[in-house]
Amino acid sequence: MKIIRDLEKIFFENKITATIGGYDGIHIGHNRIISKVVQKAKENNSKSALITFKPLPKIFFARKNFELLTIYKKIEILKELNVDYMILLRFNDSLISMSSKDFIEEILIKKLNISSLTVGHDFKFGKNQSGSVSDLQDYAHKGSFTLNVEEKHSIAGERISSSSIRDYIMQNNFEKASKMLGRPYTVSGKIIHGDKRGRTIGFPTANIKLEPNILLSGVYAVSTLFRKKKYYGVANIGYKPTFDGQKYLFEANIFDFSQDLYGQRLEFDIISKIRETKKFSGVEELKKYINLDVKSAKEIFKLK
């Protein structure tokens, strides 16, 4: 899969079969749409493309939101789905101020040379989100491209949406969120050096510096895959009030693990919330609670 981040020097000579949208989370509904686009591209003897935005408009305009996937995970999933191109449009002042007409004509038609476009029924674009499916249909009727409009997908009678998944995550209902995603909700990043306080009290941790819009906070039961082996653990996500921590971090104590992880990119499945973040009176009380957290996590995972 080729990733395109800059349209200035790009022109597609051959027609492409594309879908466009936020695709936040690439949940099971998104997965179905992308699979259809990839299949249609094969039938048309063209290349498939997923066009999305960085940052996502919903994240840009609503700071309380958070992206369900890192860009690394999104790329990994799209590769698995055999998408030919991932096109990242910079959601900046230039794009925000572009009229819906110019977006269609300058980007979709001239730059990307789209022959077939798939969108969700509620897709909005252009300045002040003035563009809608009906505008795209006008161009489709003129023969500029064919248009496929996808309705919402459902699971067990409930509509699947990135907003619903975010709500379930904030409600600590990771089971529901995972069902809609089609996989566990994950937090990932590069392992960095922390203050190494955990190892001095018997609980060494793998630390990840998180994006500020993750928004989770508390202690969680987690699992991770390292060199094809699954490990379980307990993680603190957020700040460390006991030690006046100013950094928003992910710290995981991985059970029965002693390998060097610095510089590695790790992905942790968030399985269940154990408790809220708490400020302790000192190290001894902290150790007591960590022992309880470890016990709770092992009970969740049915470990001895």
Q: Which phi and psi angles does 198 have, rounded to 5°?
A: -60, -40
At residue 204, the pLDDT reads 82
Homologous superfamily of domain range 184-300: Riboflavin kinase-like (2.40.30.30)
Cα 26-29-33 angle, rounded to 5 deg: 85
Is the bond preceding 55 in cis, omega lying within 30 degrees of 0? Answer: yes
At residue 148, the pLDDT reads 96
Q: pLDDT digit of tens for each residue in the chain (304 aa)?
A: 999 988 877 778 889 999 999 999 999 999 999 999 999 999 999 999 999 998 888 777 776 678 898 888 899 999 999 999 999 999 888 999 999 999 999 999 999 999 999 999 999 999 988 999 999 999 999 999 999 999 989 998 899 999 999 999 999 999 999 999 999 999 988 888 866 565 656 678 888 877 656 778 899 999 999 988 999 999 999 876 555 566 678 899 999 998 888 888 899 999 999 999 887 777 788 888 889 999 999 999 998 7
At residue 202, the pLDDT reads 62
At residue 211, the pLDDT reads 67
Is residue 8 packed enough to be buried (19+ CB in 10 Å), middle (13-18) or exposed (0-12)?
exposed
Q: Is 265 helix (H, G, I), strand (E, B) or coil?
A: strand
Local structure of residue 215 (DSSP, 8 states)? -
21: alpha, beta or left? (left if phi > 0; alpha if psi -120 to 50): left
Q: Tokens 């686009």 sit at which residue? A: 37
Structure token digits, residue 3: 């990733």
How far is the C-alpha of 259 from the C-alpha of 226, rounded, in Å?
Answer: 10
At residue 223, the pLDDT reads 97
The predicted model scores a pTM of: 0.87
Homologous superfamily of domain range 2-159: HUPs (3.40.50.620)
At residue 103, the pLDDT reads 96
At residue 82, the pLDDT reads 97
**How far is the CA of 176 from the CAs of 238, 251, 271, in angstroms?**
23, 24, 11
Domain ranges of the chain: 2-159, 184-300
